[in-house]
């Protein structure tokens, strides 16, 4: 189980995250945030593996990644 | 669920002023993550440049000094000589470090000054509006090279890492990039090593980070990362140019 | 206390050490070289650091860093080197960093020469760097005072969080005089909770900065500085007077020239001319208050300077049209002769100046 949280009000719509997602689930929304950008988001959370690559390339720290901790 | 990726403590929770897709933000985050991981937030002093990154003083959550254009390595020298047990670094762009501040960073390296320079090379002046930088590539169009940089007129792009390598005082010199996930992982490793070199008292360390400037390159952020990969890396090869002897860090 | 013979440059160095200064960053230039030689030897003896920088530009920025880290720190130079430091001085003023800069003036403009001069008065007292700011400027006139003034310079710098310039000329740096080093030194350096020493060492995050992109905020900083400068101007004006009693021709001179003027005043008095001397010790704040009070009793002022007439402007502002102000100067590294200054005094006396 994993989840990505997009702080959409911080997103400048640069799309760098959309190009690196191995599952191709990061998409740009049609809505406009307060800064006037179309923010990125993920609708298909069930497909997210929590790899964090989208967060790694995001220049604006829009993305937080959560993952189920594995039992050791 | 556990948060596995969120804002580092050393970075304040404020939005960056940088343009969409500018990878300064990635570089800031990597520096902050390294400072967190090394547990030095309370003992680090950063020196901000003049240029887009002047506002690093507002973003990093630790003591910061705003230096005059190009002078951050001299300012950092003053701080480090007074407080040798603190970690002192500069964060400078290509105009700041490699044009107006050439004397300061070279001589900080010559002295083996135990400071770390984080050097952002995006081949253009950002804040002043897209003029030629010392690292602007041949043929690259900027506001002051509207026909492309011509070596007859403007000479050649400066290769900072290659220049520093022969200097005995330079202990760690690396060139990395922040345009792809793989490069970003490598970049963080280099930044961490640079700080460790300082903490272990081995001498001067510098990490050159190839970074994008979509706005002044006239490209979309996605085109910009591609442009960096195809144009900058062939001229500015990535890698560790100088490393301390094995086992010392 | 026995006296020892010291060069002015050495006295400045020893004065700095006695003031608790432990850091010097500088670049060689004549005629202040002996100061760097002295401190290169002396500072390591007291656990301090002498660092030769790659340029004056680097020196002043190392001073900026060391001051930001809370140290008592200084640099020194002469004419061309001080010109290179102007950017840094503006930054020191804007970021309110206490620091001491010594200028042993030489002939200019341009490369000029290494002979004594006072032609950097405007640069020191009126700015030199960009923006609205002031340095406190001190002008000793003996080797003893060069030593003593350093403690004062560092105290003022810390008290007001402001750069202080100690200004003399090349001759004073080279000149040897007996100096009383005084007794044990007790230095009290005030705590600097604002210094960027790392967050483990003070409360919260400290930032040293003069970059305020929002005009309202920059104006606020300017107003804060203005308030400070007004306070300095009210409290810190210092001048000496010599044979001013009943004087109707008043010479105004600082540094080395004030001593030449003392001789000229003595000779004039012996000839029955009522001459006197005011010697500004602080060039900024300029002792306008004291000079202004003498205006109604004075027939004429004569500023004697090793320049084309720079301090004369401040004397005129202080006198405010109540008496004529004349200037006599030697240029390009030439030192005024007592005989020539006396001739100027006689001219003014015989010419019925100001009547």
pLDDT of B248 reads 79
Q: Is residue C282 part of a domain?
A: yes
How does DSSP classify residue A71? Answer: P
Task: Please state the length of chain C.
Answer: 355
- What are the respective helix, strand and coil percentages of chain C, to the nearest 5? 45, 20, 40
Whether residue B43 and residue C200 make contact (CB cut-off 8 A), yes or no, is: yes
**What subunits make at least 3 CB pairs under 8 angstroms with B?**
A, C
Chain A residue numbers touching B4 (CB-CB < 8 A): 50, 52, 65-67
C29 and C151 both lie in a single domain? yes
> Which site among A14, A34, A53, A64 would you substitute to test the B interface, given the most B Cβ atoms closer than 10 Å to its Cβ?
A14
pLDDT (tens digit per residue) in C92-130: 999 999 999 999 999 999 999 999 999 999 999 998 999
For residues A30-42, give the mean pLDDT: 96
C101 and C227 both lie in a single domain? yes
Give, in order, the Cα–Cα distances in Å from B16 to each of B63, B85, C84: 18, 30, 34
Whether residue B181 and residue A53 make contact (CB cut-off 8 A), yes or no, is: yes
C140 and C70 both lie in a single domain? yes
User: CA of C92 to nearest chain B CA: how many angstroms apart?
Assistant: 10
pLDDT of A72 reads 56
Whether residue A14 and residue B21 make contact (CB cut-off 8 A), yes or no, is: yes
User: CA of B185 to nearest chain C CA: how many angstroms apart?
Assistant: 28
Structural domain spans, chain B: 24-242
C179 and C258 both lie in a single domain? no
Reduced to 3 states, what is the DSSP secondary structure of residue B163? helix
C32 and C174 both lie in a single domain? yes
C89 and C103 both lie in a single domain? yes
C119 and C256 both lie in a single domain? no
Q: Is residue C355 part of a domain?
A: no
Residue A4 pLDDT exceeds 90: yes
Whether residue B57 and residue C49 make contact (CB cut-off 8 A), yes or no, is: no
Whether residue B220 and residue A56 make contact (CB cut-off 8 A), yes or no, is: no
Residue C352 pLDDT exceeds 80: no
- pLDDT grade for C355, boundaries at 50, 70 and 90: very low
User: CA of C209 to nearest chain B CA: how many angstroms apart?
Assistant: 5
- pLDDT grade for C2, boundaries at 50, 70 and 90: confident
Residue C80 pLDDT exceeds 60: yes
Beta bridge partners of residue B210, listed in sequence order: B121, B177
CB-nearest partner of C61 from B54, B61, B71: B71
Cα–Cα distance, C96 to C91 (Å, whole number) = 8
| Whole-number percent of chain C with pLDDT over 70 | 99
pLDDT of C185 reads 80
Judge whether A28 is closer than 8 Å to chain B, CB to CB.
Answer: no
For residues C210-223, give the mean pLDDT: 96
Whether residue B191 contacts residue B40, with contact meaning beta carbons closer than 8 Å, is answered with no
The DSSP element (H or E) to which C86 belongs, if any, is helix C86-94
For residues C320-326, give the mean pLDDT: 97
Q: Which CATH entry fits the domain spanning A2-67: 3.30.70.20, 3.40.50.720, 3.30.360.10, 3.30.930.10?
A: 3.30.70.20
pLDDT of A1 reads 82
The B residues from 68 to 87 touching C (CB cutoff 8 Å) are 68, 71, 74-83, 86
Out of C220, C235, C250, a domain closes at C235
Whether residue B212 contacts residue B179, with contact meaning beta carbons closer than 8 Å, is answered with yes
Residue A71 pLDDT exceeds 90: no
User: CA of A17 to nearest chain B CA: how many angstroms apart?
Assistant: 10
Of B41, B39, B38, B44, whose CA–CA distance to B10 is shortest?
A: B41
Residue numbers in chain B where pLDDT is lower than 70? none
- pLDDT grade for C182, boundaries at 50, 70 and 90: confident
Out of C235, C261, C291, a domain closes at C235
Whether residue B3 and residue A64 make contact (CB cut-off 8 A), yes or no, is: yes
Q: Which domain holds residue C213?
A: 4-235
Cα–Cα distance, B180 to B188 (Å, whole number) = 12
Under CATH, domain B24-242 is a member of which superfamily? Thiamin diphosphate (ThDP)-binding fold, Pyr/PP domains (3.40.50.970)
Chain mean pLDDT for chain C? 96
pLDDT of B62 reads 98
Judge whether A38 is closer than 8 Å to chain B, CB to CB.
Answer: no
- pLDDT grade for C354, boundaries at 50, 70 and 90: very low
> Which site among C48, C52, C68 would you substitute to test the B interface, given the most B Cβ atoms closer than 10 Å to its Cβ?
C68
**Residue B157 neighbours by CB distance under 10 Å:** 23
Reduced to 3 states, what is the DSSP secondary structure of residue C239? strand
Beta bridge partners of residue A27, listed in sequence order: A41
Judge whether B66 is closer than 8 Å to chain C, CB to CB.
Answer: yes
C200 and C245 both lie in a single domain? no
- pLDDT grade for C184, boundaries at 50, 70 and 90: confident
Residue C353 pLDDT exceeds 60: no
For C231, residues 6+ apart whose C-beta sits below 8 A from its C-beta are: C160
For residues C160-182, give the mean pLDDT: 96
């Amino acid at each position: 189980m994993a989840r990505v949280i997009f702080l959409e009000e911080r997103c400048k719509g640069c799309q760098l995250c959309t190009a690196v997602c191995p599952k191709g689930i990061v998409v740009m929304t049609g809505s406009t945030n307060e800064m006037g950008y179309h923010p990125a988001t993920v609708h298909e959370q069930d497909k997210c593996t929590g790899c964090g690559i989208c967060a790694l390339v995001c220049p604006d720290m829009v993305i937080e990644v959560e993952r189920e901790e594995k039992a050791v | 669920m556990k948060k596995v990726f969120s804002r580092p403590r050393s970075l304040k929770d404020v939005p960056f002023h940088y343009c969409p897709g500018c990878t300064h933000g990635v570089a800031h985050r990597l520096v902050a993550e390294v400072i967190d991981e090394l547990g030095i937030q309370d003992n680090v002093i950063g020196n901000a440049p003049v240029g887009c990154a002047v506002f690093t003083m507002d973003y990093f959550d630790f003591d910061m000094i705003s230096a005059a254009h190009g002078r951050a390595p001299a300012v950092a020298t003053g701080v480090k000589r007074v407080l040798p047990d603190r970690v002192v670094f500069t964060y400078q762009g290509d105009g700041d470090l490699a044009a107006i501040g050439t004397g300061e960073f070279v001589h900080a390296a010559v002295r083996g000054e135990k400071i770390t320079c984080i050097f952002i090379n995006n081949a253009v002046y950002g804040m002043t509006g897209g003029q030629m930088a010392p690292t602007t590539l041949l043929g690259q169009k900027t506001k002051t090279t509207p026909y492309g940089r011509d070596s007859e007129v403007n000479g050649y792009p400066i290769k900072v890492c290659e220049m520093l390598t022969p200097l005995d005082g330079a202990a760690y010199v690396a060139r990395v990039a922040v345009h792809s996930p793989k490069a970003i992982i490598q970049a963080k490793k280099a930044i961490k090593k640079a700080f460790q070199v300082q903490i272990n008292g081995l001498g001067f360390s510098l990490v050159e980070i190839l970074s994008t400037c979509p706005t002044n390159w006239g490209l979309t952020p996605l085109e910009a990362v591609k442009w960096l990969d195809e144009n900058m890396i062939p001229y500015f090869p990535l890698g560790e140019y100088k490393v301390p002897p094995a086992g010392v860090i | 206390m026995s006296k020892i013979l010291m060069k002015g440059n050495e006295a400045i160095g020893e004065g700095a050490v006695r003031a608790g200064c432990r850091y010097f960053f500088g670049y060689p230039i004549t005629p202040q070289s002996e100061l760097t030689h002295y401190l290169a030897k002396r500072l390591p003896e007291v656990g301090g650091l002498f660092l030769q920088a790659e340029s004056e530009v680097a020196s002043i920025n190392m001073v900026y860093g060391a001051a930001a880290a809370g140290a008592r720190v200084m640099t020194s130079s002469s004419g061309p080197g001080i010109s290179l430091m102007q950017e840094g001085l503006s930054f020191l003023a804007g970021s309110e960093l206490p620091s001491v800069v010594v200028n042993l003036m030489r002939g200019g403009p341009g490369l000029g020469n290494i002979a004594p001069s006072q032609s950097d008065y405007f640069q020191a007292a009126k700015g030199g760097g960009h923006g609205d700011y002031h340095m406190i400027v001190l002008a000793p006139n003996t080797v003893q005072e060069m030593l003593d003034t350093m403690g004062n310079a560092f105290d003022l710098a810390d008290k007001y969080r402001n750069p202080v310039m100690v200004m003399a000329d090349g001759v004073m740096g080279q000149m040897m005089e007996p100096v009383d080093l005084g007794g044990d030194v007790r230095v009290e350096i005030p705590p600097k909770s604002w210094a960027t020493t790392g967050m483990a060492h003070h409360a919260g995050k400290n930032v040293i900065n003069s970059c305020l992109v929002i005009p309202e905020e920059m104006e606020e900083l300017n107003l804060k500085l203005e308030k400070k400068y007004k306070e300095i101007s009210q409290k810190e004006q210092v001048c000496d007077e010599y044979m001013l009693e009943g004087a109707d021709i008043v010479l105004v001179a600082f540094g080395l020239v004030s001593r030449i003027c003392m001789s000229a005043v003595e000779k004039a008095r012996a000839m029955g001319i009522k001459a006197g001397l005011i010697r500004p010790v602080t060039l900024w704040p300029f002792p306008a208050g004291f000079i202004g009070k003498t205006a109604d009793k004075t027939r004429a002022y004569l500023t004697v300077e090793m320049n084309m007439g720079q301090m004369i402007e401040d004397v005129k502002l202080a006198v405010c049209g109540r008496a004529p102000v004349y200037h006599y100067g030697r240029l390009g590294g030439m030192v005024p002769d007592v005989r020539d200054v006396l001739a100027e005094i006689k001219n003014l006396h015989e010419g019925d100046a100001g009547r």
